[in-house]
Amino acid sequence: MKEITILGSTGSIGVNTLDVISRHRDKFNVKALTANTNLDVFLDQCIQYKPEYAVMADEDCASKLEEKLKKEAPDVSILAGTDGLLQVAELETVDYVMAAIVGAAGLLPTLGAAKAGKRVLLANKEALVMSGKLFMDTVLQNNAELIPIDSEHNAILQILMSSGLEYNIGVKNFYSKTIKRITLTASGGPFLNYSHNKLSNVRVTQAIKHPNWKMGKKISVDSATMMNKGFEVIEACLFFGLKPDQVKVLVHPQSIVHALVSFYDGSTISHMSNHDMRIPISYALSWPGRYKLNIKSLNNDKFNNLTFFEVKKGQFKCLDLAFKALKMGFNAPTILNASNEIAVEKFLENKIKFIDIPVIIRKALKYVPTKKNSSLSSILASDELTREYTRELIKKI
């Protein structure tokens, strides 16, 4: 029986994780669930799963939850704020931590789980992008197991394991002895092939309606700008110890092939599945084995119309900016992530246009100073400075 904490249980990944776990109640016990403000969904989850701990980042919501749970599930301990998140990520009795909070808010508990040597199922890519080397060092120094949840990276891990390679996530130059290149596929989002003119008028409702995946709002916008793919390129370099020019992006609107690994012997192996996040979640939970997951399997008729397009330089500005940040090194990805978070938040509030997002991030990368220091305090300071800079910049738009 494995004990699991789910950080961000009310989100799209959190709900899918609980779905997979409910099929394996004999293998997993939900030790802790966490949420921010979604009281209704969280209350139902607490009543259904009866975790030992329930954490709400928002203190007012935590008080309301306590009141409501008194009758229905009096044994659940309610915690609040970042301290509460950190506490359940580090609990000694916890084996697995699903890191599914969106954005930089997930950094401290996810890092805490790594420090405590847990199996970290990493969906919260922003936490990894903003803390890069610090995060990977923490994983390696504390013998944590880092399993990617992003479908592309999870697909790569499946390919590597199926090819008989050892698990060595985060070890620089380990996989690059065998792997020449990896390719991440991208659906291209809802605005693939839109002209600049057409893009300048897109609305929030259009941007959060992804053609293939049902996801939280922030990652949906990131998918529409292709910053999500940019983050995934950074993620891939960190996970698999590769150089930026070893990671390629291929537009594949059907989202059936998730990633391709090209080996030095001339073989390229790909991973295919329906676009359903329960598949990578199940693999991360079962790794190195596989569980039975009774969901719709991939039918051969899906192969009739699979298409792939090379990404042209300049086609996706946010993707180019992510490559730029990766090549700038130091804490440039921290600046990339923080300015993107603020820009996306303001776009969702209808304060800026969709096409303003890359313009803002480009400026932040240019004007916020990059630092060599990769300590946690330096990362948090840089994150904060970038947020202030970006907010001021947006006021002037």
> Mask: binding to ligand NAD, 14-33, rule CB under 6 A, as x and -?
x-------------------
How far is the C-alpha of 68 from the C-alpha of 76, rounded, in Å? 11
> Mask: binding to ligand NAD, 136-155, rule CB under 6 A, as x and -?
-------------xx-----
Q: Is 325 helix (H, G, I), strand (E, B) or coil?
A: helix
Using CB under 6 A, which of the segments 70-78, 168-176, 210-218, 242-250 binds ligand NAD?
210-218
To the nearest whole angstrom, how small is the minimum distance from the Cβ of residue 396 to ligand NAD?
27
How far is the C-alpha of 235 from the C-alpha of 220, rounded, in Å? 18
Q: Does 112 bind ligand NAD (CB under 6 A)?
A: no
Nearest to 28 by CA among 280, 276, 282: 282
Among 3, 4, 5, 12, binds ligand NAD (CB under 6 A): 12
Q: Give how many residues touch ligand NAD by CB under 6 A.
A: 27
Choose between 45 and 386: whose C-beta lies nearer to ligand NAD: 45
Tell me, what DSSP letter sits at residue 305? Answer: G
How far is the C-alpha of 188 from the C-alpha of 274, rounded, in Å? 17
Among 150, 235, 341, 345, binds Mg ion (CB under 5 A): 150
Q: Footprint of ligand NAD on residues 242-301 (CB under 6 A)?
A: 277
Q: Is 82 helix (H, G, I), strand (E, B) or coil?
A: helix
Instruction: Tell me if 141 sits within 8 A of 208, measured CB to CB.
Output: no
To the nearest whole angstrom, how small is the minimum distance from the Cβ of residue 90 to ligand NAD?
16
82 half-sphere exposure, CB direction, 13 A CA radius: 9
The listed partner (ligand NAD, Mg ion, none) that binds 237, CB under 5 to 8 Å by sort, is none
Sort strands 2-7 and 96-99 into parallel, antiparallel or unpaired: parallel
Choose between 100 and 155: whose C-beta lies nearer to ligand NAD: 100
Using CB under 5 A, which of the segments 14-22, 68-76, 147-155, 260-268 binds Mg ion?
147-155
Using CB under 6 A, which of the segments 100-108, 155-163, 196-204, 234-242 binds ligand NAD?
100-108
Instruction: Tell me if 330 sits within 8 A of 371, measured CB to CB.
Output: yes
User: 174 burial class (0-12, 13-18, 19+ CB within 10 angstroms)?
Assistant: middle
How far is the C-alpha of 219 from the C-alpha of 308, rounded, in Å? 22
97 half-sphere exposure, CB direction, 13 A CA radius: 33
Task: Give residues in contact with Mg ion (CB under 5 A).
Answer: 150, 152
Please report, as ranges, the residues that interact with ligand NAD according to CB under 6 A. Answer: 8-14, 35-36, 38, 57, 100-102, 105, 123-126, 149-150, 213, 215-216, 218-219, 277
